[in-house]
């Protein structure tokens, strides 16, 4: 809405200029009657549907449900596609394209006659990319997440996306599982519409959205296959029209308070480490100061309440039936900003009032938590001057304080070439170090930080080692894995200087990560260090390498930080 209360879309659809004629005439070829073009909020439905993003494969139906709600509330819905990022297929990593997709979202929203936006999000990066883009325009915005798949079912037990893949893979390599069993498990794991049903990154993002107040309350955990997911989409269509009339912009909801709530809720649900890099980028777009240490300060003293894989045993379907995110918010009410605004134009205290837990094994109470003090720990030390992170709830308690010799892989190809070499000198005390997987180095900061253990250790029953890299790991993964080391090795961070056999000390309680090599020796290694070969000379990837920021500030492109608003002050036609 403009300051005069006029709809933004009226500049296109109510204009008497040639531009108005063109805007109305050409869209009328879709059969829209004339009355839709006056005094109706035009709602963009930003759809990340793609057959290349299987987790979002049901989004055309969800979009139709949103349209029902928009029409019912007196709006005019116009659906548009944006770049979709599917974890299962895209190479080398969707993270390389998160910022590109955000540019698509931002420019499409700004350039078109939209008054409000519904973001349809599901697979991991489709949530942060769309929110980042929407932040930079700042119209009234509501998120509809697509929901998770039903629980995987394999030979009489529940199996979780990703989490059980890593286990099956280790079992296969250790000879505990046959290739036929491995193949059978594929269809058993992914048996309905929806995203990964563990508390992986997609579910983490859905919970983040609800904690930020950006969706219809209770929306994060509804399974994709449950009819209540469609109902939620319909209600979001209703609500976005009202939000336009109330002029409730994204920046009215997405605030420092709501971001702090999201960090705390993430600790309690055992959410993915990927939340850190995405929330930093979202805050950067909105111009809200947020530092890596805020995640530790706000989240690490909180207990884990939600017993979901990979930190626990249950899955998103169970989480929904137990009461979902509203229960978690109510359990944390003494810690959260319960006065934080939501898309309902009501505070969190009001929209979650009356939340009831139906299964305390799945969602524990704050007085009797599932695990004490978890969250995400931020590490500092000479190996990560600008920080690194670890997820204690997914790590092995006996490795949380550890000193061991480094086994260094110079890049991902070196890792693949040598990990199962019988001559590799590695044992259960070793610290695996992987270089070259940061934002610039890979490029794109892939989810390889939870690198698989060598076969010879798996056969001995070893299931975890301390692993350190400048990359990320899947939200479905687990292990004593130190991630997001900054500055990354490709720009000469200390990680680049680690040699085989150097002693590394990890002390999570003390928040330290130390390379036990004298400063003078590190200086002489740096003097002869050569940066890796640049992996792109043209196109988007070349631009990405030139402009991507480090993980500790969100890995956004430097020129995308901040917002430009919704005004376009020049017309298409003379």
Residues at the site binding ligand FES, with contacts judged by CB under 6 A: 55, 87-88, 123-124, 161, 195-196, 200, 202
Q: In this structure, what token pair is assigned to residue 268?
A: 């309690």
Task: Give whichever of 124 and 164 is closer to ligand FES, judged by the CB atom.
Answer: 124
Residue 166: CB minimum distance to ligand FES, A: 13
Residue 182: CB minimum distance to ligand FES, A: 18
Task: Give whichever of 22 and 100 is closer to ligand FES, judged by the CB atom.
Answer: 100
CA distance 537 to 539: 7
Task: Give whichever of 338 and 477 is closer to ligand FES, judged by the CB atom.
Answer: 477
| Three-state DSSP class for residue 159 | strand
* Cα-Cα-Cα-Cα dihedral sign, residues 152, 158, 160, 166: negative
Residue 86: CB minimum distance to ligand FES, A: 6
Task: Give whichever of 191 and 525 is closer to ligand FES, judged by the CB atom.
Answer: 191
Nearest to 447 by CA among 469, 430, 414: 469
Residue 194: CB minimum distance to ligand FES, A: 8
CA distance 443 to 40: 44
CA distance 494 to 287: 30
Task: Check residue 429 and report its DSSP letter.
Answer: T
The residue written with tokens 């990405």 in the block is: 544
Task: Give whichever of 144 and 243 is closer to ligand FES, judged by the CB atom.
Answer: 144
Task: Give whichever of 193 and 296 is closer to ligand FES, judged by the CB atom.
Answer: 193
Residue 483: CB minimum distance to ligand FES, A: 18
The radius of gyration of the chain's CA atoms, rounded to the nearest angstrom, is: 24
Residue 371: CB minimum distance to ligand FES, A: 24
Specify whether the CB–CB gap between 131 and 206 falls below 8 A.
no
**Tally of CB atoms within 10 A around 340:** 23
* Cα-Cα-Cα-Cα dihedral sign, residues 378, 396, 437, 99: negative
Specify whether the CB–CB gap between 574 and 22 falls below 8 A.
no
Q: 567 CB contacts (<8 Å, ≥6 apart)?
A: none
Task: Give whichever of 94 and 238 is closer to ligand FES, judged by the CB atom.
Answer: 94
Residue 96 Cα distances to 59, 215, 438, 444, angstroms: 23, 27, 11, 4
Task: Give whichever of 89 and 417 is closer to ligand FES, judged by the CB atom.
Answer: 89
CA distance 77 to 68: 9
Residue 207: CB minimum distance to ligand FES, A: 13
**Angle at CA of residue 161, ends 330 and 49, nearest 5°:** 85
Residue 120: CB minimum distance to ligand FES, A: 14
Task: Give whichever of 55 and 209 is closer to ligand FES, judged by the CB atom.
Answer: 55
Residue 547 Cα distances to 96, 390, 505, 556, angstroms: 12, 26, 32, 8
The residue written with tokens 């190809």 in the block is: 413
Residue 552: CB minimum distance to ligand FES, A: 25
Q: In this structure, what token pair is assigned to residue 350?
A: 């009001």
- Strands 401-409, 431-434: pairing is parallel
Residue 149: CB minimum distance to ligand FES, A: 9
Task: Give whichever of 9 and 274 is closer to ligand FES, judged by the CB atom.
Answer: 274
| Three-state DSSP class for residue 190 | coil
């Amino acid at each position: 809405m403009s300051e005069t209360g006029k709809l933004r879309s009226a500049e296109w659809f109510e204009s008497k200029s040639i531009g108005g004629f063109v805007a109305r005439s050409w869209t009328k070829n879709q059969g829209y009657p004339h009355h839709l073009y006056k005094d109706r909020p035009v709602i963009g439905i930003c759809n990340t549907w793609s057959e290349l993003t299987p987790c979002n494969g049901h989004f055309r139906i969800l979009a139709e449900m949103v349209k029902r709600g928009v029409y019912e509330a007196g709006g005019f819905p116009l659906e548009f596609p944006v770049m979709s990022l599917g974890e299962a297929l895209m190479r080398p990593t969707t993270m390389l394209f998160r910022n590109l997709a955000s540019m698509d979202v931002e420019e499409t929203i700004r350039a078109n006659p939209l008054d409000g936006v519904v973001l349809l999000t599901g697979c991991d990066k489709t949530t942060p990319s769309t929110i980042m883009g929407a932040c930079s325009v700042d119209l009234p915005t509501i998120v509809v997440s697509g929901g998770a798949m039903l629980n995987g079912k394999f030979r009489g037990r529940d199996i979780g996306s990703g989490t059980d893949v890593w286990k099956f893979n280790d079992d296969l390599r250790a000879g505990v599982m046959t290739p036929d069993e491995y193949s059978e498990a594929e269809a058993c794991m992914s048996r309905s519409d929806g995203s990964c049903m563990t508390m992986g990154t997609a579910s983490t993002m859905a919970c983040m959205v609800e904690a930020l107040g950006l969706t219809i309350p209770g929306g994060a955990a509804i399974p994709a296959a449950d009819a209540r997911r469609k109902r939620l989409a319909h209600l979001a269509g209703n609500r976005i029209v009202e939000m336009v009339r109330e002029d409730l912009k994204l920046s009215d909801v997405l605030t420092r308070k709501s971001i702090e709530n999201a960090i705390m809720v993430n600790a309690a649900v055992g959410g993915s480490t990927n939340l850190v890099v995405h929330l930093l980028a979202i805050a950067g777009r909105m111009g809200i100061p947020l530092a890596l240490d805020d995640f530790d300060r706000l989240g690490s003293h909180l207990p884990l309440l939600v017993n979901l894989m990979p930190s626990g045993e249950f899955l998103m379907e169970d989480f929904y039936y137990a009461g979902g995110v509203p229960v978690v918010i109510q359990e944390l009410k003494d810690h959260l900003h319960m006065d934080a605004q939501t898309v309902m134009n009501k505070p969190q205290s009001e929209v979650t009032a009356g939340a009831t837990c139906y299964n305390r094994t799945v969602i524990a109470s704050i007085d009797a938590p599932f695990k004490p003090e978890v969250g995400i720990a931020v590490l500092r030390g000479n190996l990560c001057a600008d920080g690194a992170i670890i997820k204690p709830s997914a790590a092995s308690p006996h490795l949380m304080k550890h000193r061991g010799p480094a086994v260094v892989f110079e890049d991902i190809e070196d890792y693949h070439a040598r990990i199962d070499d019988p001559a590799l000198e590695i044992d259960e005390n070793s610290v695996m170090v992987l270089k070259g997987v940061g934002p610039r180095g890979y490029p794109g900061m892939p989810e390889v930080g939870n690198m698989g253990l060598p076969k010879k250790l798996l056969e001995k029953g070893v299931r975890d080692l301390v692993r350190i890299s400048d990359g990320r790991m899947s939200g479905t993964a687990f292990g004593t894995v130190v991630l997001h080391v900054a500055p990354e090795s490709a720009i000469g961070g200390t990680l680049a200087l680690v040699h085989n056999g150097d002693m590394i000390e990890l002390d999570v309680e003390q928040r330290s990560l130390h390379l036990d090599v004298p400063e003078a020796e590190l200086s002489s290694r740096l003097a002869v260090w050569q940066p890796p070969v640049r992996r792109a000379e043209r196109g988007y990837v070349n631009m990405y390498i030139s402009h991507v920021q480090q993980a500790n500030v969100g890995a956004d492109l430097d020129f995308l930080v901040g917002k430009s608003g919704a005004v376009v002050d020049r017309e298409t036609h003379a």
